[in-house]
Amino acid sequence: MHTSYPFILASTSPRRCDLLKNIGLKFKVVPSEYEEDMTLPLSPAELTIHLSLEKARAVAQNNPNAVIIGADTIVFCNNQLLGKAHTPEEAKRMLHLLSGKTHQVITGMTIIIPSVKTPQSSASINEVTFKDLSDAQIDWYINSGEPLGKAGAYAIQGLGGMLVSSIKGSYSGIVGLPIEELYDIFTQHKLW
């Protein structure tokens, strides 16, 4: 590391924390208080960038001398945005929609660097194809508890990986933080 700035992840996502720990980054977690608005008239990629930017900005206000990492992930299928499943019924609806189809998993990421005037943002756009799922498979997965709180009602790095037949793009971007793009930004700005 070339920087003396502390790193802050503006997310409590255990998956994002694990991804950063796996690359050896020392960071602090400061959850963003930004209220997500999924109804903004933006494309899915623009929406994830907007949400990641606002989350990062909310944390940067009280941490002006830190590198802030904000991220947001959505699933997009059949022209529908799928955020996090909050109930088993929502999860069931989402999993039926995804069954047997290819969908996009888009993670917007923003990095705010104190010495750089403009926030650095990007969107990782990836494709995931689901197997054809029976009602019994969907019920089994929902009963595991894993779908709740996950964009699109599944976690590819967990049991949800068994529902997937193929991916195209960044695995870490699908999980919730595109490490390849993070590394590129860190390298460009001599943070790594």
Helix 135-143 vs helix 88-98: crossing angle, to nearest 10: 140
Question: 132: burial class by Cβ within 10 Å (0-12, 13-18, 19+)?
Answer: exposed
> What is the distance, to the nearest Å, from the Cα of residue 140 to the centroid of all Cα atoms in its chain?
25
Residue 184 DSSP SS3: helix
Choosing from 18, 37, 72, 135, which is the catalytic residue? 72
Q: Show the beta-strand stretches assigned E in 54-119.
A: 67-77, 80-82, 102-112
Respond yes or no: is residue 72 known to be catalytic. Answer: yes
Residue with tokens 């089994």: 140
The Cα angle at residue 44 between residues 67 and 70, in degrees rounded to 5? 15
Active-site positions?
72
